[in-house]
Amino acid sequence: MYRLRQHTGQLDMFALLTASVLRRGALRYRGSQCTMATIVSGNKTSQQVKERLKKEVAEMKTQFPGFRPGLVVLQVGDRDDSNLYISMKLKAAAEIGINANHIRLPETATEDEVLQSIAAVNENSAVHGLIVQLPLDSINPINTEKVTNAVAPEKDVDGLTSINAGKLSRGDLGDCFIPCTPNGCMELISQTGVSVMGKNAVVIGRSKIVGAPMHDLLLWNHATVTTCHSKTLDLAEQVGRADILVVGAGRAEMVKGEWVKEGAVVIDCGINHIPDSSKASGKRVVGDVHYPSAKERAGYITPVPGGVGPMTVAMLMKNTVESAKRFLQTHTPGKWNILYTKKKPQEPQQSDATISYSCQSKPVGQLAREVGLFSEEVEPYGRSRAKIRLDVLKRMDKQPDGKYVVVTGITSTPLGEGKRTTTLGLAQALGAHLNINTFACVQEPSPESCFGARGLAVGGGYSQIIPLEEVSLQPSGQNELISAASRVVMNTIKAHAHYETKLSEKALFDLLVPLREGQRSVSLAQLNRLKKLEIEKLDPLTLTGTEIRHFVRLDIDPETITDSGSLKNEIMAILSLSSSEEEMQQRLANIVVATNKSGDPVTTEDLNVSGPLVLLLKDALKPVLMQTVEGTPVFLHTSPLVDIAQGSASILADKMALKMVGSKGFVVTESGHGADIGLENFFNIKCRYSGLQPNVVVMVATLRTLKMHGGAPPVQAGLPLPKEYSQENLKQLARGCCHLRRQVENAQAFGLPVIVAVNKFSSDTDAELELVCGQARQAGAFDAVQCTNWSKGGAGALALAEAVQRAAKLPGRFRFLYDSQIPADDKLRTVAQKMYGANDIKLSPKAKEKLALYTKQGFGNLPVCIVKAHLFSNDPTMKREPTNFMLPIIDIKANAGAGFLSCLTDLTKAEMDDPMWPCFHGNNLYHDFK
């Protein structure tokens, strides 16, 4: 019908025009008029959309470094067509800069498993779009509607949830996600330049994915819309009236060209396969419109393939980028969307219990969501507490750690110096007042500490953990599990010793490796014991008589059996120092419970009891999540005593918190007692095993303690302070500041900046406070600030928080006090001289004997934990900065499971300490908590 004319090798203008038209569409003659059906290319338009989105994502990354829109495609099964569609989506996401991930569940997945996967993605703030690839190819029945509606509406970039569909149907176009195919159709219509307003539009099809939302979109863009379907009687007549025709019926070439109104816009959403012998596959793809005849009448028409299909993927990307934009309107990347409660202090200040009762704590589920935890990672333990599963660490493995701050103190008085209160106040100041992601990590109160004169061991005033009665008086089960584990070990030792004397080796073997269904098998612990005995056999039936004898008889020396109290302490230390369940299992297996008559250590693994211990203690390994008065999150976990172990909150709590706060956040943890014993153990034991390096040390001091070191009378728990403590005495205070200087030097020995926090009391004068702060700075402290967080909450620790921020920017130069490979006595000597000011150590004959034994058994490279009073020396009368004394070591115990040598001095508790006066005298706790 058309002819290209060529003259002397050149195309004339008519030929050029004709060739161009042939590429774009079709020419139709009617009389002297020529009408052109323009092909609206989805490939070209989708590429334009993707280029625009790519620029928008680049701008996001520039404005919010490290931020990327996130998309997840969830697939059930392994259908080839689904794999093809998913690969197209992932490729488009990569082109634009969207971080896309593919979660594939097997065809055996159940509905609950699919819903759990969706819930996890819903709660992940790094994901802004979630696509559930349909159909769900599972051998199990799955309710597709239920699964689709499980997607969070704000992440439903497919626009298929009932909430998004409902918003679209009532015209809330700016507050919903529009299904991708209809949205792509609208984009293609806009490319034609034809205005939708006032036009007659016909939609063929009424599916939730195409037809129904297409009707709504056209309607709210002011077209007059008619929806037709396969049952419509006058379908050809309806199509003939359409200025805009959108077909998504799913029937090959059902709309004939002669039905189409001349000049109409035809959008074909169909994808169908029909036989075609000319194709290698024997079939070809066609739409729902008979394209050859329709293009003769339409003004604009989309091809199949290459029309609506590419636009669906492009609109999916557009919705994902839009979702990321909406997220950035309400969230700052890396910042928690957390609700804090700043309390207005009352005058006069109320009791701790009254303050706690007046503060309404958030439900722990809400708190967990605010700090980025997923519901499946949280195990509620009442309304205000929850145990957090260790899966969090695996999920956040690649996330950078935050800043790590450790709070210590000078040598305390029986009344305490407020380390816990300062820890919580600092966390509140950083979190609630400076809007920085901040976690506090503290020890769980031990049962015996809950009624001490210093309060209920959870902070105090407006810097405490709430609800006070839950954290202090309602245990989380940790101590009960440890007691049960200790009893299991002690009972197993007794049973083993008893039956070794009563039974033959064969009978013992039958007890240890019982016959079940004609088979015997050894446990993992027993297999390890065989390897320890250098017996390389897996089948117990092949053991010789001599090998059986070595295997079943432990030959425990009864004089060397550990006591129950020491065992409990070591198990608590193991919980505190383990970074994973696997590490806890290994540490529990390494506990030395006795020595055999040959001088070799007998472990829980030798007793075949390490497995049951792991089962008992798995739950105790999970940190407990709570909150402060102001809503700052707190982890409580483990309570190893500082005068017999490392005395700090668990490694797991610190590691988990450091991941959760992100690179710009802070974790405030604490060490027990003063910088000489508690901080030394924190660094040389806890940090050695955790691999974590703190950024800042905060040292808490009080004027009353410094006055005591300057010569004021000793204080006694539960009794009024002597008048010397409430009177200004600068000379006495200056004499006591040498103790502060010594503790600052102790902390600086580890290479970190030290900030002195002076815990202010109402009787302290400005002159006294300025004197102490000045002395601290002269001693080399990075800064010294006054703190009133007990009476003012986080607002009273703002100066401290700002100082911590500045100090945390300094380059880290953390170092240990000693190399773990040097001999144990040299480690002890180093600690005694550098931390306590001793001339040397003095080992008793028993300590020398034990040290030689443990070195022979392979424990000589363990760090040392000096078990002593909180005082500098073993003489309670020595104050200020004691020197020129010998530190006596009277006994040594190998805590091989915990991983340190426990070295006892001749004074494990200060003789001057009277029994602790309980805090409930003069307090109606029951009335306060009602």
Kindly report whether the peptide bond that precedes residue 305 is cis, defined as omega within 30 degrees of 0.
yes
- Give the pair of three-digit tokens for residue 369: 């969501």
Q: How far is CA 611 from the centre of its chain?
A: 28
* Candidate list 44, 50, 89, 344, residue with the active-site label: 89
What would the DSSP string read from start to end of 791-844? HHGGGGGHHHHHHHHHHHTSPP----SS-TTS-HHHHHHHHHHHHS--SEEEE-
Which residues does residue 783 pair with via DSSP β-bridges, in sequence order?
Answer: 755
**CB 763, CB 725: distance < 8 Å:** yes
Cα-Cα-Cα-Cα torsion 191, 197, 199, 201, nearest 10 degrees, comes to: 70
Q: What is the distance between the alpha carbons of residues 526 and 511, in angstroms, rounded to a whole number?
A: 13
Q: How far is CA 596 from the centre of its chain?
A: 44
Cα separations (Å) of 631 from 17, 120, 366, 795?
Answer: 73, 24, 11, 14
Determine how β-strand 783-787 pairs with β-strand 864-867: unpaired
**CB 642, CB 366: distance < 8 Å:** no
- Give the pair of three-digit tokens for residue 241: 């009236």
Q: What is the distance between the alpha carbons of residues 255 and 264, in angstroms, rounded to a whole number?
A: 13
166: number of Cβ within 10 Å: 12
202: number of Cβ within 10 Å: 27
Please report which helix (H) or strand (E) contains residue 784, including its range: strand 783-787
Cα separations (Å) of 470 from 160, 350, 361, 561, 878?
Answer: 44, 19, 12, 37, 40
318 included as an active-site residue: no
Q: Which of 911, 307, 408 is nearest to 672 (CA)?
A: 408
Beta-sheet strand order (sheet of 900-905): 840-843, 886-895, 900-905, 864-867
Q: Which residues are catalytic?
A: 89
